[in-house]
Amino acid sequence: MGSAATGRRAAGLGLVALAAAGGLVACSSSSGGSSGGSSGGDATTEASGAAGGGTYTIWDPYPQHDKGSEWVKLLDTCGAQAGVTVERTAYDTTDLTNKTLLAAQQGNAPDVLVVDNPVVSTLAEAGVLTTTEENRLDTSAVAPNLLAAGQIGGKTYGVPIGANTLALFYNKDVLKKAGVDIDSVRDWASLTAALEKVKAAGEKGITFSAIGTEEGSFQFLPWFWGSGARLTTLDSPEGVSAVALWADWLKKGYAPNSVINNTQTTSWQEFATGDFAFAENGTWQLAAAEKAGFPYGIIPIPGKNGGTAPAPTGGEFVGIPVQQDSGRYATSRKLVTCLTDTDNSLTTTTALSYVAPTEQVQAKQVAENPGLAVWVEAVKAAKGRTSDDLGTKYPKISEPMWGAVQAALSGSKSPQQAMTDAQAAAASATQ
């Protein structure tokens, strides 16, 4: 998904806006760039479950998927197989987090919850979610880097249903005019050399989102992690080098000053003009890329010294909230297992425009659409923003980090000073 807002955790109702931000940044991608087609809207559908099986509620962040969508059809099918009626309600990501926390406080949480991965730690810390161990949900086939986004304190709170992430789109015509061979772009130095050639040819270099929100952090993380830096030490030499890379690009005119205020959507709009050589953006822009009117390609974001940089994962987890009636868990487990099993995973990830969380289904996706190979590679290298057991500490680190990026790109602080100040703020906030 492609936009974001942010916020802070506050006593029990947690991190709501930030959690939503994470979701808006990189999930619900099938809507073509937004976490949902409506704000706070809901769409309810009931499956024809077996008589007497009862009604089970499922909440998800996909209001753009209506009753006729493949996603909702799968929900109906899973309900029928479990012998129950499924009552599905879809909310905008922000509303979903808020309503889930409130419902849990009132003792009427949904039976099954599909929620953006950065929100999982918020809900887990608030005591809203059961663990996969408690409900005997099998996660053995799931890629560890994707599962980590739903882990905190050594426990796992749900099963990922798919993931998306960031990569570099490139305009073949612009690179041809500049005499750049895309195969030569393998690390930061070669990418910068390519941008230098592009500018010398009178073309525009690279666009991205560095806005002062979670969206800016989301786009900065591949460069930060790709330098070898860790979120617990923002002012490491590696972390400073990532900020310096972006600041240097602006100083030399390889990236426009507009990136300081760009969202991922406006950044994409710049690339869609056909004037830019590169754009950092996500899986959710594939449909837009096909309509752009110029030949394009995609490469993983390179690490500082080569290889694929870890980019942040987007995508949702499906889990089972705590219920007063523990007798409901057995059927909820059937529903979650149905939504995440291998046979249905290809349907789910295709419907939601995600890369599957298991290698077996990823291979099927690439076999059906070879163009997804680069995204599978990127997802395999990706990591969750709340991984490394950061959990709800992440937003307290992310906000100073995006502030540092803003300061460095605007020239109000040097990259070193910006990150030194950011680390001091993050350390104070996470004590």
- Specify whether 179 is located in the same domain as 293: yes
Beta-carbon contacts of 370 under 8 Å, excluding residues fewer than 6 positions away, are none
The answer to the question of residue 386 being in a domain is no
pLDDT greater than 60 at residue 34: no
- Specify whether 122 is located in the same domain as 23: yes
Tell me the pLDDT tens digit for each residue of 404-420: 999 999 999 999 999 99
Q: Are the C-beta atoms of residues 5 and 24 closer than 8 Å to each other? A: yes
- Specify whether 271 is located in the same domain as 415: yes
The confidence score (pLDDT) of residue 6 equals 27
The answer to the question of residue 5 being in a domain is no
Tell me the pLDDT tens digit for each residue of 314-367: 999 999 999 999 999 999 999 999 999 988 999 889 888 899 999 999 999 999
Of the pLDDT bands very low, low, confident and very high (cuts 50, 70, 90), residue 25 is low
The answer to the question of residue 8 being in a domain is no
The count of other CB atoms within 10 Å of the CB of residue 409 is 23
- Specify whether 248 is located in the same domain as 171: yes
- Specify whether 363 is located in the same domain as 416: no
- Specify whether 104 is located in the same domain as 222: no
- Measured between alpha carbons, how far is 116 from 214 in angstroms, rounded to an integer? 14
pLDDT (mean) for 274-293: 94
32 or 259, which is more confident? 259
The answer to the question of residue 6 being in a domain is no
The confidence score (pLDDT) of residue 14 equals 32
DSSP state, residue 91: -
The answer to the question of residue 2 being in a domain is no
Q: Are the C-beta atoms of residues 123 and 129 closer than 8 Å to each other? A: yes
The pair of three-digit structure tokens given for residue 48, joined into one six-digit string: 């024809």
pLDDT greater than 80 at residue 60: yes
- Measured between alpha carbons, how far is 338 from 213 in angstroms, rounded to an integer? 36
- Specify whether 206 is located in the same domain as 307: yes
The answer to the question of residue 262 being in a domain is yes
- Measured between alpha carbons, how far is 73 from 165 in angstroms, rounded to an integer? 26
The answer to the question of residue 156 being in a domain is yes
pLDDT greater than 60 at residue 1: no
- Specify whether 172 is located in the same domain as 302: yes
CATH number at residue 177: 3.40.190.10
With CA atoms as reference, report the closest residue to 32 among 272, 296, 357: 272
pLDDT (mean) for 275-283: 96
Write the DSSP string, 92-126.
Answer: -HHHHHHHHHHHHHHT---SEEEEEHHHHHHHHHT
Q: Which domain holds residue 334?
A: 16-164+314-381
- Measured between alpha carbons, how far is 183 from 172 in angstroms, rounded to an integer? 12
pLDDT greater than 80 at residue 98: yes
- Specify whether 194 is located in the same domain as 263: yes
φ, ψ for residue 136 (rounded to 5)? 55, 45
- Specify whether 425 is located in the same domain as 327: no
φ, ψ for residue 242 (rounded to 5)? -70, -45
Beta-carbon contacts of 50 under 8 Å, excluding residues fewer than 6 positions away, are 80, 83, 84
Number of domains in the chain: 2
- State which amino acid sits at residue 344: N
pLDDT (mean) for 200-213: 97
- Measured between alpha carbons, how far is 221 from 172 in angstroms, rounded to an integer? 26
Write the DSSP string, 201-238.
Answer: TT-EEEE----SSHHHHHHHHHHHHHTT--TT-TTSHH
- Measured between alpha carbons, how far is 131 from 150 in angstroms, rounded to an integer? 10
- Specify whether 265 is located in the same domain as 405: yes
Of the pLDDT bands very low, low, confident and very high (cuts 50, 70, 90), residue 116 is very high
- Specify whether 341 is located in the same domain as 412: no
The answer to the question of residue 3 being in a domain is no
